[in-house]
């Protein structure tokens, strides 16, 4: 496999989830691998995405847990939230994980170049110090970045990248968008004491999730005090002398805020990489077009993860990177099966979902059955918290197969993972029914719906 006329067998551009996995596996197969990363090893997920976000979600949840503790006999006379403590501890953990990622690459003899790289030919790249590096194959895994609208004053807004570095917790936060990031950070900011307004361009948030589950999230969020402005958008942002921001709106009244967070999707990081000049075809949104083997329109150049703009989820990028490395360097050709990928929204309460929603199943399968359990979790009953969980199972009438499981409630993503195995395995509703309940749990609802 090794062709010593090149500096490396594989050059990976971007050390995020997909790139690191591909580099490690390819090196394990004996390839000489280099990775270029201009920011920090770990990429979006580890440095400014899933991991620090989840830690903030945990931190924020203490607000409700401390409230609920009273009915369980805990007397907590005073409580004070210290944002810098949470922020700095989260960032320290991110630093630790970054170190571990670097160690993993080093242990596999992968060369890490802490620099930007630009593709200059089908098998060559230029790194920031001007050097040219050659490689038999190039893997593009530079990820994506938050989109920002083209409106006056947009420089006063922040993106999810900036949340982890905020000097102080804002009192009023306006969040643009109705997707994963908007709903997750709405929960975090709200629990940490801010007044949150979500502004969405349509009346549908979390498009693609089961409508009943989304409806429950909206109702619960409203009951907690999160505001929504639907069918609304931004004309401009004006910074005022006192540091606040006036959001000039269309479709609703203007809003005053201390921070405005844009969470309106993520754009593939392909600009300035020299790709189009080489004939690497991009989509309208600038994503690299790839085939089943992650090969771009230039045969020696491949791409995985968010830069391909298909399913922007860490486990997907990891699978793709692994499949690429096994196929190209391990003599183990494989493709990724994209069916029934589970997903979670770490909102307050969180959502876990796998398979077809009710409307998708109706469109695809025709006759279906749905089962729902709408219940107040046991710990909320004692705590006096008036919040209900909703579990839903979608079943194909013809085969009795469970084709979708959708949950909203405490720990829904944790509970969903096991159910995702069942859906992936094609188990039937009868299999669910035959399974004994684990009592008393919330998860037992999954096998008790009749």
Q: Which is nearer to ligand NDP, 84 or 208 (CB)?
A: 208
CB of 181 to ligand NDP, least distance (A): 3
Cα 108 from chain centre: 27
Q: Where are the beta strands (DSSP E) in 182-278?
A: 195-199, 227-229, 233-239, 245-250, 255-257, 259-262, 266-268
Strand (E) or helix (H) holding 276: helix 275-278
The alpha carbon torsion through 43, 270, 181, 354 (nearest 10 deg) reads -90
Residues that bind ligand NDP (CB under 6 A): 149, 177-182, 184, 200-202, 205, 207, 263-266, 312-313, 343-346
Q: Which is nearer to ligand NDP, 395 or 408 (CB)?
A: 408
Tokens representing 50? 């899933």
CA-nearest of 431, 375, 374, 443 to 402 is 431
Considering the candidates 29, 61, 195, 439, report the single residue annotated as catalytic.
Answer: 439
439 belongs to the catalytic site? yes
**Residue 115, Ramachandran bin (φ over 0: left; ψ between -120 and 50: alpha; else beta):** beta
How far apart (Å, rounded) are the C-alpha atoms in residues 259 and 243? 9
CB of 312 to ligand NDP, least distance (A): 3
CB of 136 to ligand NDP, least distance (A): 31
CB of 200 to ligand NDP, least distance (A): 6
Query: In this structure, what are the phi and psi dihedrals at residue 153, rounded to the nearest 5 degrees?
Result: 85, 10
Distances 373 to 348, 370, 378, 430, 450 between C-alpha atoms, Å: 19, 10, 14, 17, 9
CB of 183 to ligand NDP, least distance (A): 8
CB of 259 to ligand NDP, least distance (A): 16
Strand (E) or helix (H) holding 222: helix 211-224
How far apart (Å, rounded) are the C-alpha atoms in residues 342 and 352? 7
How far apart (Å, rounded) are the C-alpha atoms in residues 247 and 233? 10
Which residue's Cβ lies closest to ligand NDP? Answer: 179
Which residues have a catalytic role annotated?
Answer: 439
């Amino acid at each position: 496999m090794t062709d010593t006329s090149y500096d490396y067998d594989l050059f990976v551009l971007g050390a995020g989830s997909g790139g690191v996995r591909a580099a490690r596996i390819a090196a394990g197969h004996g390839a000489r691998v280099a990775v270029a990363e201009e920011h920090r090893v770990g990429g979006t997920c580890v440095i400014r995405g899933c991991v620090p976000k989840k830690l903030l979600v945990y931190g924020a949840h203490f607000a409700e847990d401390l409230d609920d503790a009273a009915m369980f006999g805990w007397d907590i006379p005073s409580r004070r939230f210290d944002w810098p403590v949470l922020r700095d501890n989260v960032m320290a953990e991110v630093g630790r994980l970054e170190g571990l990622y670097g160690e993993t690459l080093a242990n596999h003899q992968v060369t890490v170049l802490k620099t930007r790289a630009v593709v200059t030919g089908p098998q060559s790249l230029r790194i920031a110090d001007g050097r040219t590096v050659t490689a038999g194959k190039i893997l593009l895994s530079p990820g994506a970045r938050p989109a920002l609208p083209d409106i006056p004053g947009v420089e006063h807004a922040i993106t999810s990248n900036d949340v982890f570095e905020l000097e102080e917790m804002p009192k009023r936060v306006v969040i643009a968008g109705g997707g994963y990031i908007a709903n997750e950070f709405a929960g975090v900011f709200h629990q940490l004491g801010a007044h949150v307004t979500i502004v969405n361009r349509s009346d549908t948030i979390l498009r693609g999730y089961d409508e009943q589950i989304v409806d429950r999230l909206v109702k619960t969020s409203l009951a907690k005090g999160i505001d929504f402005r639907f069918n609304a958008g931004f004309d401009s942002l004006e910074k005022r002398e006192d540091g606040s921001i006036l959001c000039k709106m269309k479709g609703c009244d203007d809003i005053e805020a201390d921070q405005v967070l844009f969470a309106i999707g993520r754009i593939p990081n392909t600009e300035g990489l020299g790709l189009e000049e080489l004939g690497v075809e991009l989509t309208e949104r600038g994503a690299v077009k790839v085939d089943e083997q992650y090969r771009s329109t230039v045969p020696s150049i491949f791409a995985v993860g968010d830069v391909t703009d298909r399913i922007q989820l860490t486990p997907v990028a990891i699978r793709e990177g692994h499949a690429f490395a096994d196929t190209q360097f391990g003599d183990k050709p494989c493709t990724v099966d994209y069916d029934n990928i589970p997903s979670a929204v770490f909102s307050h309460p969180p959502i876990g979902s796998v398979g077809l929603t009710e409307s998708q199943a109706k469109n695809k399968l025709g006759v279906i059955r749905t089962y729902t359990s709408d219940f107040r979790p046991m710990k909320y009953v004692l705590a006096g918290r008036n919040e209900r969980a909703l579990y839903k199972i979608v079943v194909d009438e013809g085969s009795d197969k469970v084709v979708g499981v959708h949950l909203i409630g405490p720990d829904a993503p944790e509970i969903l993972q096991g159910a995702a195995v069942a859906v992936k395995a094609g188990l039937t509703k009868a299999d669910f029914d035959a399974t004994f309940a684990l009592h008393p749990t919330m998860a037992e609802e999954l096998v008790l719906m009749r």
